[in-house]
Structure 1
Amino acid sequence: MMSRPFDRRTLFKHTALFTGAVTGALALPLSIGKAEDLDAWLSNQGGPSLKDQRSPGIIARDEAYWARVRGLYHLQPDVVNLDHGWTNPPPRAAMTELTARARTLEALPAEQLPKQWETISTTKMRAALAAAMNVQPTEIALVRNATEALDTVLLGFPLKAGDEVVCSAHDYYAMLDALEQRRARDGIVLKMINPPVPAPSMNALEALYVDAITSRTRLVLLTHPSNLTGQYLPVRRISEHAHRVGAEVVVDAAQSLGLLDDPLMSLGCDYYGASAHKWLGTPVGLGVLWMRPEHVAKIWPLLPPMKEEKGMARFEWIGTAPEYVNPASIPAIALHAALGASRKAERLKYLSSYLREKITRAFPNARFYASHELSGTLTHVEFQGVDPIALQKRLREQHGILIQGMGGIRSDPSLRAIRISPNVFTARTELDRFVAAASREIPRLEKRG
């Protein structure tokens, strides 16, 4: 059984337990312990009010609200950043804390590194991150990114020759590389699903996995959603079927942590890995691994831990590391708590809808890789005859617009889309600017092709 989840009040409490190495307007004050104190802090920085009782769907369309959120960040002014699916910029308060913590640590690392780990990272920051996930702090391991979290499971799960692992051509390449290594080393069998693009329905996706899972299946990898298509999966339904045949489920949630009110328990999985520097908006270098307590002992860590380490701490040993990332993540998690996952998700869904409508009008033959109903944060669109990498380069160099070109995918070479991933503070005018720039560049690239 999973532990009783934390509530939102607990999240505020633990983001408040901040040692305050930084002084100044943007640092979280020591007195924050309640939602009203966090509201006052946000108001002082020009941010939105937590007292706004409008529904997330209404707030999603309020450009003034999200402009105030934008004011909490230090962004590069000459770039329209539409590539937040890779990494999100942290808020200014986190950047301020990051630089101060780095100076303090690097000036006396032998003392400051263990001190910051013991007094902040493994206590205050761990509790805040666990609360954002609705789990207990003892159930998570602090790692560097989703790849480290998920490869811990994929490489450490007990498998022998002939055991089956179900995965998808649209899983992240680092996870597939780990499974290929298990196949070469241990003789496991990979059952690779090739989902249709776009998928017609959640039922159709579920059926693909149900057909692939057999009595010999030991592990199922599910990506939620796919980095390559933006497609969500019916994770809970697939998990239930896998459990009925004795298989276990590992979820790559790099693209959904921070956008679901109940990001983990709602999935019904056994293992869960994600990066906090995507939609939770922490500085780069923080990931998280969770697993059901009954599975912890059987997973081999990536690096051998010290003998006295127990529980999830077994998966945290990486040697000397830039410890200042963890304390600097607390202001970012506090801002996430203030905005709320549902508001963020609705805003991104609204921007995705707005963008799709603009693209469809400008390019009637554009091909989206997932329907609007089955996707959310990521918009993948293919323009026939256009090299997505060339389009990415043209938009960046000629228009100061950053998107992601998705070409040359080893697991599915047919994918040739660009990925557009705005942030919650992205303005509609920036999406208009992208469509206008694409309208100028795409005809030139089509003629070249």
Structure 2
Amino acid sequence: MSTPTNRRSFLGKLALAGGAFSANSLFAQAHAADWAEASARVDQLTPQQAATDEDYWHRIQQAYPASSSNILILNNGGVSPAPLIVQHALERYNALINQGPSYYMWRILDQGREAVRDKLALLAGTPADEIAINRNATEALLTVIYGLPLQRGDEVVGTLQDYPNVVQAWRQRASREGVVYKQLNFNFPIEDDDAIVRAYEKAITPRTKILHVTHVINWMGQILPVQKICRMAKQRGVEVLVDGAHSFGLLDFNIADLGCDYFGTSLHKFLSAPVGTGMLWIKQEKIAGIWPLLCNPSPNSADIRKFETLGTRSFAIEQGIGEALNFHNAIGTKRKEERIRYLKNYWAERVVNIPRVRLHTSLKAPYSCGICGVSVDGMTIAELESGLFGKYKINTSPTVWENISCVRVTPHVYTSLADLDRLVMAITQIAKSKS
């Protein structure tokens, strides 16, 4: 654990290098004055009103090199490009490391994890000592899945629509240890919170120990009523693990307010942090009871840092999170959420009535935000995805998983309305060609 003296030393040294947490951060150098002027345009507007101010969002778009790419990236639900300042931060930290890795990695940048942790905690709305920094949502979630002290016959309830890596992890525990893994099957979209909560509640038995709940279904963007599910589970004495890979950095919420016990997310999606960054949150009183995924000299410790025993890793990537947080906070979570929801609805509302086109996602705010699934009757999902890319150079994600079959489209804050007009034109022409 970093001491106050070490932390002050770190911040002082990093300030000289333009660290993310100094007054001379790359964000401050590149954007502070310009964005202050832009923000003045929308400060008196509601987030919903600000979502439609194209002059404001044009400033944001210019900060992403991806906005000028010939390929239209609409698979930000998989991984998002980073703003230029985050890329520059990585270059700067890598250059610093390579002046002498054994010194600058272990004695300088390694101390910076505490500053990153503190800043993540502010965004998450949790104490810093409940947050571990890792590499992605899979690592965070599998830390809990494999770390829970479950016994033969203990039951876990998830869904068929959960992410494959976590499904396979639970199935492995079932195969090796006799844990009972039960999966609900939903037909999304669903615009009824109570129906979803009742399905989880009905599956609970006296042997149920934990619910695995995906906050935003990655395949087609359904938002689950996590807070309501957690409230019900708590009344039944059941813990909840939340997969927040597609919610953190996008939806406006505090993790502590969800009522869950464990939460894992990736930071390289809507937060636009460097690729290979993630975060694990565990309620303080639960930390000691979870075994670390990788070995640690004190595996039963209540120190969240026991989950960060990864050995040598990219310290530059970790520190790049700081600039991504600066960038995100300058926009504001709620403003970002409403802009990305507006972008999703902008294109989806224009194609929903085109003959042969089908949407697989609700367009109502409580049930979706940025991700939307689309298909065209008479075409396989592979054909639609390849058609969008082959002729129109639009990058999307083909999704065929359990009872979900669609092309996933996910814009981000750097996506322009002109980009989405291009998508609408492409879907219109593709659908017409099949009529």
Give the CA deviation at 1:352.
Answer: 1.7
Instruction: Give yes or no for contact 1:170–1:229 (8 Å, CA) kept in 2.
Output: no
- Once the two structures are superposed, the pairs formed by residues 9-408 of structure 1 within 5 Å of their partners are 19-20=14-15, 22=17, 30-31=22-23, 41-44=31-34, 48-49=38-39, 52-75=43-66, 77-120=69-112, 122-307=113-298, 311-363=303-355, 365-373=357-365, 374-407=367-400
Instruction: Give yes or no for contact 2:21–2:115 (8 Å, CA) kept in 1.
Output: no
SS of the residue corresponding to residue 65 of structure 2 reads coil
Give the CA deviation at 1:257.
Answer: 0.5
Which letter does structure 1 place at the counterpart of 2:349?
E
Instruction: Give yes or no for contact 2:133–2:308 (8 Å, CA) kept in 1.
Output: yes
Partners of 2:29 and 2:90 in 1: how far apart?
22
Q: Deviations over 1:387-426 (max 9, x none)?
A: 222222222232121111102x2xx1x3210111000231
SS of the residue corresponding to residue 240 of structure 2 reads strand
SS of the residue corresponding to residue 114 of structure 1 reads helix
Gaps of 5+ in 2: 1-10
Change (3 A) 1:313 1:382: same
Which letter does structure 2 place at the counterpart of 1:387?
T
Query: What does residue 430 of structure 1 align with?
Result: 419
Instruction: Give yes or no for contact 2:61–2:416 (8 Å, CA) kept in 1.
Output: no
Change (3 A) 1:149 1:188: same
Alignment RMSD (CA, Å): 2.4
Which letter does structure 1 place at the counterpart of 2:410?
S
Instruction: Give yes or no for contact 1:222–1:235 (8 Å, CA) kept in 2.
Output: yes
Partners of 2:349 and 2:184 in 1: how far apart?
31
SS of the residue corresponding to residue 260 of structure 1 reads coil
Give the CA deviation at 1:356.
Answer: 1.6
Partners of 1:17 and 1:336 in 2: how far apart?
24
Partners of 2:121 and 2:277 in 1: how far apart?
13
TM-score by length of 1: 0.87
Which letter does structure 2 place at the counterpart of 1:392?
E
SS of the residue corresponding to residue 382 of structure 1 reads strand
Give the CA deviation at 1:18.
Answer: 9.0
SS of the residue corresponding to residue 167 of structure 1 reads strand
Change (3 A) 1:18 1:108: closer
Partners of 1:227 and 1:152 in 2: how far apart?
20
Q: Deviations over 1:278-304 (max 9, x none)?
A: 111111111110111111111111111
Query: What does residue 8 of structure 1 align with?
Result: none
Query: What does residue 439 of structure 1 align with?
Result: 428
SS of the residue corresponding to residue 404 of structure 2 reads coil
Partners of 2:395 and 2:385 in 1: how far apart?
7
Partners of 1:29 and 1:157 in 2: how far apart?
35
Partners of 2:337 and 2:110 in 1: how far apart?
33
Give the CA deviation at 1:139.
Answer: 1.0
Instruction: Give yes or no for contact 1:257–1:263 (8 Å, CA) kept in 2.
Output: no
Gaps of 5+ in 1: 1-15
TM-score by length of 2: 0.90
Give the CA deviation at 1:167.
Answer: 0.1
Instruction: Give yes or no for contact 2:212–2:242 (8 Å, CA) kept in 1.
Output: yes
Q: Which moved more, 1:191-200 or 1:369-378?
A: 369-378
Q: Which moved more, 1:384-393 or 1:210-219?
A: 384-393
Q: Deviations over 1:251-302 (max 9, x none)?
A: 0011110123333122110000011111111111111101111111111111
Instruction: Give yes or no for contact 1:215–1:246 (8 Å, CA) kept in 2.
Output: no
Q: Deviations over 1:210-269 (max 9, x none)?
A: 111122110100001100121111111111221222210000011110123333122110
Residue 419 (str. 1) matches residue 414 (str. 2): no
Change (3 A) 1:150 1:342: same
Instruction: Give yes or no for contact 2:72–2:419 (8 Å, CA) kept in 1.
Output: yes
Partners of 1:69 and 1:173 in 2: how far apart?
33
Q: Aligned residues: percent identity?
A: 32
Change (3 A) 1:45 1:98: farther
How many corresponding residue pairs? 420
SS of the residue corresponding to residue 353 of structure 2 reads helix
Which letter does structure 2 place at the counterpart of 1:156?
G
Partners of 1:155 and 1:378 in 2: how far apart?
29
Query: What does residue 4 of structure 1 align with?
Result: none
